[in-house]
Structure 1
């Protein structure tokens, strides 16, 4: 950061690090990136694009002077414990569409749309930055070629090194929005090569499977923008923006942040989650759906198929089998987890009925299988501990029955 002495304002200074200029090949590439950004972004004037104020390509090191944005990159809001409210994410995406539509009219394809290149100002506005890798469709000058951009956010046509249009940036923006909504990227491999393969060949998991509160029409918008073929995406930026706006208008009234904090605290207080760190709990918060149910509600019924389990947060539940009451359970237990642990047998083995008003967190089995490996591992360990505890309790009960049933000593 610097200070513009003439105008008395803060500015951002972007420099090429000196160590990158020591090797001739690297030096030429980074000078070209800086030159490209100066040439292309210098003419852009849009409220959602960071403005270039000055540049010196011949300085040592070369630098750009940019509009200062008092805020944070969107990469700070891309993990399950830092996610922004859904309406705000859709609003950010809408503004990005407007900025990229403007860049498209100027003949530019950004080629490096990612959370780190999108700044969220303190006032709530969003600013697109870093046009160093941008492609000008109207220039005859030699431009950066090959695989340009960040692997996780590349479009399939970028991976194949084909000619690019605005549809490539549209795909990349959809990846960013997906990540801001779920805390996960739609295509994420163990290596860059594995990630690029997934981008080209694998279908993304619907985001609502990773964040149960997302309505189906948000899935539809994002999955269309993530289509493998450019022609299958939205035809124009305006079409994408209107679809996002319609999804925004169709959202249910959101819970307050205080309510989410209270629910997080309720999970943290349960012994079942003792070995879950905060990030894992926030991921679970997004993954499951919260339900407050009246007394007498049947949560699950024996001999019927199931593909989910419930965590009892508040209240009491009676568990029975073939009409015989087995137990009454309180907060902190799971119900129906055997359909997750035994995917080859999805039949419920007992009936669970709310004895009081209850609050449960329902988790769909397919959603947990698509969750992070860390969350799956912690559930596996918690389920094992739970089942061992139930086995010990059953053995102790059997021992008591044996003592009761044992004959007394013979009388004299």
Structure 2
């Protein structure tokens, strides 16, 4: 079919969204930059290509296939998966609205003579992707098309998996396709054979991406797709450390296991692969704690409380604090407790309770425990996690060991927070007076 039949002029507006320049296009549609005037944020808008020659039934089928991405990605909320905000139709156009990511895909780092990422950076990116896939699989979603073009690297160096357009939502994580779907160079043997696929199929594809990031070439290559499939089914891939001497043998072993022909010989879950990558990262003179610390630093930088803090001051704050995680329904602090700590909610939602009555809700970036921090008096309320939360617990005694510059910046932000909280309390009292 003539591709021009599937093209259309860029709309200036779709629904409430303003439409800007084209960002890219593929078989399923065209992606534009856009803007949500109500939330006031940049977005990416994927619009399905429309064939004016299609009858009503064909249009419905294509829209159903197009919205399978919304069905899959809409179930997922993870820091390393591109978020989906909205989906709908307007006239003949079907569209999906996603998080706008400032950055590029991994394709630029996979070219034979292109720039290479260091093994340490590859491990860091793949660790995040493995964790994202572990979460996706826990929600019953198989991606089925993991490849360099579907992994974004943000300008801050973070990784995001995107494009769930051929994903499969299944409770059992066992799916048998009736046709070959995916990108040939990254397909697992069972995907080529149209056999039952599971989490290990996505992890095979991630191993193929790792291989290419470190060598500039896919594990199996040919101009003929049939030959690529033959190699995937029968040939053993070369070891990455033989092609790139900068790659440690431990990392090459991880990739070899990912690319095993038999699914049972591969890592069985994203968590298992992430653990292996963490151990490899440690071999590269970094520990899992350092990886988590970097993520914690990034989490703090995203909070309004730390606006103006430089990297050294963020590091000092982490030294004077603890990063704590709580599951939903766990208490962060208890009414009547005595301590001298101040809390900043870095992730998730929490509720403030007096007795059994909830009197307030806290969201990411909110602070609590100011009075206890200043006076070490009894807590007057209980704070309970409503979702899984990450909390920065700042210790007053440890803050005294921070540099004068860090203390000054911290207490300025702390005072602003305290004034804001007192003004809110005063307004509520006035409203009830």
- TM-score if structure 1 supplies the norm length? 0.58
Q: Runs of 4+ in structure 1 displaced over 3 angstroms?
A: 21-30, 142-145
Corresponding residue number in structure 2 for 1:86: 119
The aligned residue for residue 32 of structure 1 is: 64
Matches of 1:51 and 1:143, distance apart in 2: 27
- Once residues 114 and 100 of structure 1 are traced to their aligned partners in structure 2, the CA distance between those partners, rounded to angstroms, is 13
Residues 113-192 of structure 1 mapped to structure 2, 5 A cutoff? 113-138=146-171, 145-192=178-225
Contact 2:141/2:170 (CA < 8 Å) preserved in 1? yes
Offset of 1:31 from its aligned partner? 2.3
Equivalent-residue separation in structure 2 for 1:88 and 1:30 (angstroms): 39
Note the C-alpha offset of 1:248.
Answer: 1.8
**Which of residues 50, 66, 74 in structure 1 aligns to 2:82?**
50
Do structure 1's residue 239 and structure 2's residue 253 form an aligned pair? no
Tell me how large the CA RMSD over aligned residues is: 2.3
Q: What is the CA–CA distance in structure 1 between the aligned matches of 2:99 and 2:221, rounded to whole Å?
A: 33
What residue in structure 1 maps to residue 262 of structure 2?
A: 229
CA distance in 2, matches of 1:57, 1:164: 32
Structure with bigger strand share is 2
Higher relative contact order (CA 8 A, sep 6+): 1
1:103 is matched with: 136
Name the SS for the 1:247 alignment partner: helix
Indicate if the aligned counterparts of 1:104 and 1:166 stay in contact, CA closer than 8 A.
yes
Cα distance in structure 1, aligned partners of 2:219 and 2:161: 21
Of 218, 230, 246 in structure 1, the residue corresponding to residue 251 of structure 2 is 218
Q: Give the 5 Å matches for 1:358-397.
A: none
8 A contact 1:35–1:57 mirrored in 2:
no
- Report if the CA contact (8 A) 1:189-1:198 is conserved: no
User: Are residue 250 (structure 1) and residue 303 (structure 2) matched?
Assistant: no
Give unpaired runs (5+ residues) of structure 1.
Answer: 254-412
Q: Give CA deviations for 1:228-270 in whole Å, capped at 9, x if unaligned.
A: 01000012221111111112221379xxxxxxxxxxxxxxxxx
Aligned-residue offset at 1:215:
1.4
Question: Which whole-Å deviations, capped at 9, do the CAs of 1:209-241 have from their partners, x for residues lacking one?
Answer: 111111111111100110001000012221111
Deviation per residue, 1:124-180 (Å, 9 max, x gap)? 11111111111122299x997411111111110000101111000000000001101
Q: Determine if the alignment matches structure 1 residue 62 to structure 2 residue 101.
A: no
For residue 27 of structure 1, report the CA deviation from its aligned partner.
Answer: 5.0
Query: Secondary structure, in 3 states, of the residue corresponding to 2:97?
Result: strand
